[in-house]
Chain A
Amino acid sequence: EADIYQTPRYLVIGTGKKITLECSQTMGHDKMYWYQQDPGMELHLIHYSYGVNSTEKGDLSSESTVSRIRTEHFPLTLESARPSHTSQYLCASGQGTEAFFGQGTRLTVV
């Protein structure tokens, strides 16, 4: 069974606040990903990492940043949240072509 955890599950926050979405996996996977998904819409890759101290931007431009200081942890940070950041954020980890998704964080910025 996949062990990848995202917190919080739901977050409502005011404009201008700094937020960090947490993602942790206990499988020792080198690769980790962040996807953004608007309700009913497609997944867009916003960040990925192939290992510690490795981070890259995905195909969808995002104002968020990520860090990968430890293999198991891949947090995503928004320095100043805006209503346009309202979306679902999905974290995933994997080896090769196998990917495991977290349950997602549904973020609402008011």
Chain B
Amino acid sequence: AQKVTQAQTEISVVEKEDVTLDCVYETRDTTYYLFWYKQPPSGELVFLIRRNSFDEQNEISGRYSWNFQKSTSSFNFTITASQVVDSAVYFCALRGAGNNRKLIWGLGTSLAVNP
């Protein structure tokens, strides 16, 4: 069975603080993909990153960084120097290989960045 756990339901920080959103996954597949999406208050889903299971390199994109650790089945997301515009719900998702596999979503972490 596949599962994605985002243990943090809500996080509240003050602007300029660094914040890490946790994502732990379960899968028996040897090939799989992990994703992060942002859902701002306006409602649309914004794709942030895809990582495949064979690529454990950490990724940095501006103030965003991702730490993929297969040994702990985690794919954590860090926002450095958070800004009010980062306030959103962030979803982690998992998909196994193969064309007919469904996307398995975490329940999301609601991040509030306060001025």
| Chain B residues bordering chain A, tally (CB within 8 A) | 19
Complex partner residue of A44 from B47, B101, B103, CB under 8 angstroms: B47
Also in contact, A99 and B46, with CB within 8 A (given A40-B33, A42-B35, A43-B37): no
Q: Is the CB of B41 within 8 A of A96?
A: yes
Q: Which of A28-60 contact B (CB under 8 A)?
A: 31, 33, 35, 39-45, 48, 50, 58-59
| Chain A residues bordering chain B, tally (CB within 8 A) | 21
Complex partner residue of B95 from A35, A40, A59, A96, CB under 8 angstroms: A40
Q: Mark B31-67, 1 if CB is under 8 A from A, else 0.
A: 0010101010111111100100000000000000000
Interface residues of A, Cβ cutoff 8 Å to B:
31, 33, 35, 39-45, 48, 50, 58-59, 92, 94-99
Q: How many A-B residue pairs have CB under 8 A?
A: 47
Complex partner residue of A35 from B41, B45, B50, B98, CB under 8 angstroms: B45
- B30 contacts chain A at the CB level, 8 A cutoff: no
Complex partner residue of A58 from B44, B50, B97, CB under 8 angstroms: B44
Q: Is the CB of B41 within 8 A of A48?
A: no
- B99 contacts chain A at the CB level, 8 A cutoff: yes
